[in-house]
Amino acid sequence: MKGLSKTKTKCLKQGSRACFYNKKEPKIIILEGPDGSGKDTIENEIHRLTDHKHIIINRFLASNYTYAKLFKRKNFKNICKKYLQLDAKLAEAFDGDVHMFLLWADYDELNRRLKNRDDHYMMKHYNNVMMLFSQYLLNTRIKHHWIRNQAKPEYIAKIILQYI
């Protein structure tokens, strides 16, 4: 697998829970992404694989930044600046123990998922949302990765756990 060590790739292929649980310290995992990208499902899968070892934050600064800009919330320019300042403090305070994952699915897959939820608004703004998430990731100091969520949740969770 591209970007992963041989040991991590072997662990991922074997799928052993021990590979994911025996890391020394709990980590902070931030799951970001648009509605329908699989954040809740992946969060549950990570907890299942690690017996709730890691702290998982489902939607955090990147989502607040993205939707503040998208909806042009009152004082959104100042708010977004403060989000980035808080981001820098978080990255410094936890010195590598915090990882952000932007989950995304391509337009057709996300459209299929959101139709089941009768959520047409998100699809109308899909490109803007993805552009704003990208803009945030260009400025974050937190370790971050893009994860295309079109595989089984267990597989996506294992990939995330390999990065931390």
Report phi then psi at 146, rounded to 5.
-90, 135
Give pLDDT tens digits along the chain (164 positions).
455 555 555 554 555 444 544 456 889 999 999 888 899 999 999 999 999 999 999 999 999 999 999 989 888 889 999 999 999 999 999 887 899 999 988 888 888 888 877 776 777 888 899 999 999 999 999 999 999 887 889 999 999 999 98
pLDDT of residue 118: 72
pLDDT at 3: 52
d(CA 150, CA 104): 8
CATH topology of domain 26-163: Rossmann fold (3.40.50)
Structural contact between residues 80 and 135, judged by C-beta atoms closer than 8 angstroms: no
Pair 148, 104: CB distance under 8 Å: yes
Query: How far is Cα 5 from Cα 12, in angstroms, rounded to an integer?
Result: 10
Question: 105 φ, ψ to 5°?
Answer: -130, 155
Per-residue pLDDT at 13: 53
pLDDT of residue 150: 79
Q: Where are the domains of the chain?
A: 26-163
